[in-house]
Amino acid sequence: MSSREEHDHLGVSQQALEMDSGEKRLNELGYKQELRREMTLFKTLAITFSSMAVFTGTPLYGPSLRYAGPASLIWGWVVVTFFTWFVGLALAEICSSFPTTGSLYFWAAHLAGPRWGPFASWCCAWLETIGLISGIGAQAYSGAQALQMIILLSTGTNKGGGYFASRSVFLAMYMTLTLIWAILNSFALQVIAFLDIISIWWQVIGGLVVIIMLPLVAQQTQPASYVFTHFDTSPEATGIRSKPYAVILSVLLSNYCLYGYDTAAHLTEETKGSDRTGPIAILSSIGIISAFGWAYNLALTFCIRDPNYLYDVNNETAGALVPAQIIYDAFHGRYQNSTGAVVFLCIIWGSFFFCGLSVTTSAARVVYALSRDKGIPFSPIWRRVHPKQKVPRNAVWLCAAICMILGLPILKLDVVFTAIISISTIGWVGGYAVPIFARLVMAEENFKPGPFYLGKARRPICLVAFLWICYTCSAFLLPTLYPLQWRTFNYAPIALVVALTAIMLWWVLDARKWFKGPVRNIDIQNGVI
Q: What pLDDT, on the 0 to 100 scale, is given for residue 334?
A: 93
Instruction: Measure the CA–CA gap between 77 and 91, rounded to whole angstroms.
Output: 21
- How does pLDDT run across 245-273, given as a tens digit for each residue? 999 999 998 999 888 887 777 666 666 67
Contacts of 115 by beta carbon, 8 Å cutoff, 6+ apart: none
Instruction: Measure the CA–CA gap between 370 and 443, rounded to whole angstroms.
Output: 26
What percent of the chain stands above pLDDT 90?
A: 43
Lowest mean pLDDT among 7-16, 208-217, 359-368, 383-392: 7-16
Among residues 323, 301, 340, 321, the alpha carbon closest in space to that of 217 is found at 340
Q: What pLDDT, on the 0 to 100 scale, is given for residue 428?
A: 87
Q: What is the mean pLDDT of residues 179-184?
A: 93
pLDDT surpasses 90 at 399:
yes
Lowest mean pLDDT among 88-102, 160-174, 256-270, 312-326: 256-270
CA distances from 175 to 171, 191, 404, 419, 425 (A): 6, 22, 6, 17, 21
Which band of pLDDT confidence, cut at 50, 70 and 90, is reported for residue 504? Answer: very high
Highest mean pLDDT among 71-85, 190-204, 413-427, 504-518: 71-85
Computed over every residue of the chain, the mean pLDDT equals 84
Lowest mean pLDDT among 189-193, 347-351, 508-512: 189-193
Instruction: Measure the CA–CA gap between 485 and 510, rounded to whole angstroms.
Output: 38
Lowest mean pLDDT among 7-11, 201-205, 351-355, 391-395: 7-11
Contact by Cβ (8 Å): 375, 125: yes
Q: What pLDDT, on the 0 to 100 scale, is given for residue 524?
A: 41
DSSP per-residue codes, 365-405: HHHHHHHHTT-STTHHHHT---TTT-S-HHHHHHHHHHHHH
Which band of pLDDT confidence, cut at 50, 70 and 90, is reported for residue 30? Answer: low
Angle, CA 136 vertex, CA 133 and CA 139 arms, to 5°: 155
